[in-house]
Amino acid sequence: MPSMTAKLLTTAIAMTFATEALATEWNVSVWGKRRAFTEHIHKLAELVEEKTDGAFTMNISYGGLSNNRENLDGISIGAFEMAQFCAGYHPDKNRAITVLELPFLGVANLEEEVAVSHAVYDHPAVAEEMAQWNAKMLMTSPMPQYNIVGTGDARDELSEFDGMRVRATGGLGRAFEAVGGVPTSVTATEAYQAMESGVVDTVAFAQHAHLSFGTINQADWWTANLNPGTVNCPVVVNIDAYEMLSDAERTALDESVDEAIAHYLTNYAELLERWDSVLAEKGVQKVEISEDELAKFREVAGKPIHDAWLEEMAAQGMPAQELYDLVMGTLEKARMSN
């Protein structure tokens, strides 16, 4: 007969295998390197692991699972369980959320960006469209208004944007095109090389991306107040993987989103506080566009592009006006609550 020690050892081994079998590990596909743009994903992973006593963990991969343009495709086939993507990389695949990338929506801060993004994500049309990719919206990656860095003489008048080659995606690209710019939608990871090689004259990014992808190191100037809009980059999960979670795991994931977003906002605020010192350190001129020039930009690239989007999306059977009104109504509510 086996000894008591042997029995205990066998039981311990069996319990170990059972625990490992029950453990849930998700692969998460992002790109670039860890930065302000991905801090909420790391916080989410930390919270979920903590709340499930280590039974649910996330392996966050920077480019090891997919490239940034193919993350939604990877989610659709179950290549990984969670991913981040930006709407402007493939607007035909995520038409409903491109309303959030329209220029000059009037979003004033990151809190408002979170409010409008999550309101749109909760709309049935978004859920239906994402389901085609076996994807479920989890949370946004809120970014401030984009501004451009450039080389050579600063461009502080709208006429100087004529012929300007600019890295800008989605609605931002349309905005610059409306004033004579020539947009290109190279990915964030390709932006530095595009600027260095002269493929583009300027790059439109949020502050963290100018730092993370090195475009600030190529820059002679930065527009402090152009603020034409931003891009929308959701974090999504594979629907099958989400539904396979235990009730406790699913609750831990869902209930960690708000805390992860709060962490992101705090972290990004610290970056914004440091921004002026970053510009000074790198010798980058801070360019202020006059209100007259900004008004011209809004007139040409605001309502006309909004109207064109409404017409185009409605023609494709999307509830365009409903989505647009949801953004504007949510903004109004957010400001009233402040």
pLDDT, tens digit, for every residue of 150-199? Answer: 999 999 999 999 999 999 988 999 999 999 999 998 888 999 999 999 99
Q: Percent of the chain beyond pLDDT 90?
A: 88
Regarding beta strands 147-150 and 221-223, do their DSSP bridges make them parallel or antiparallel, or are they unpaired? antiparallel
What pLDDT is stored for residue 237 in this prediction? 98
Checking if the pLDDT of 319 tops 70, the result is yes
Confidence of residue 129 (pLDDT cuts 50, 70, 90): very high
Residue 2, judged by CB atoms within 10 A of its CB (0-12, 13-18, 19+), counts as: exposed
Which residue from 149, 178, 161 is spatially nearest to 287, judged by alpha carbons?
A: 149
Checking if the pLDDT of 17 tops 60, the result is no
Question: CB of 81 within 8 A of CB of 28?
Answer: yes
CATH of domain 24-142+232-271: 3.40.190.170
**147-230+283-337 has the same fold as 24-142+232-271:** yes
The residues facing 136 across adjacent strands are 237
Confidence of residue 9 (pLDDT cuts 50, 70, 90): very low
What pLDDT is stored for residue 19 in this prediction? 46
Question: CB of 172 within 8 A of CB of 128?
Answer: no
The architecture that CATH gives domain 147-230+283-337 is 3-Layer(aba) Sandwich (3.40)
Confidence of residue 16 (pLDDT cuts 50, 70, 90): very low
Q: Which residue has the tokens 């989890």?
A: 138
What pLDDT is stored for residue 13 in this prediction? 47
Domain spans, the chain = 24-142+232-271, 147-230+283-337
Dump pLDDT digits (tens) for 81-120: 999 999 999 999 999 999 999 999 999 999 999 999 999 9
- Cα separation, 246 vs 24, in Å, equals 9
Checking if the pLDDT of 338 tops 80, the result is no
The 3-state DSSP class for residue 143 equals coil
Mean pLDDT of the chain: 92
What pLDDT is stored for residue 1 in this prediction? 52
What pLDDT is stored for residue 139 in this prediction? 98
DSSP assignment of 185-253 equals: ---GGGHHHHHHTTS-SEEEE-HHHHHHTSGGGT-SEEESS---------EEEEHHHHHHS-HHHHHHH
Confidence of residue 337 (pLDDT cuts 50, 70, 90): confident
Locate all alpha helices (DSSP H) within the chain, ordered by sequence. Answer: 4-22, 39-51, 71-76, 110-121, 124-131, 170-178, 191-196, 207-212, 239-244, 247-282, 291-301, 303-315, 320-337
The 3-state DSSP class for residue 25 equals strand
Q: Which residue has the tokens 């996330």?
A: 58
Which residue from 194, 165, 187 is spatially nearest to 177, judged by alpha carbons?
A: 165
Task: Determine the average pLDDT of the residues in 269-291.
Answer: 94
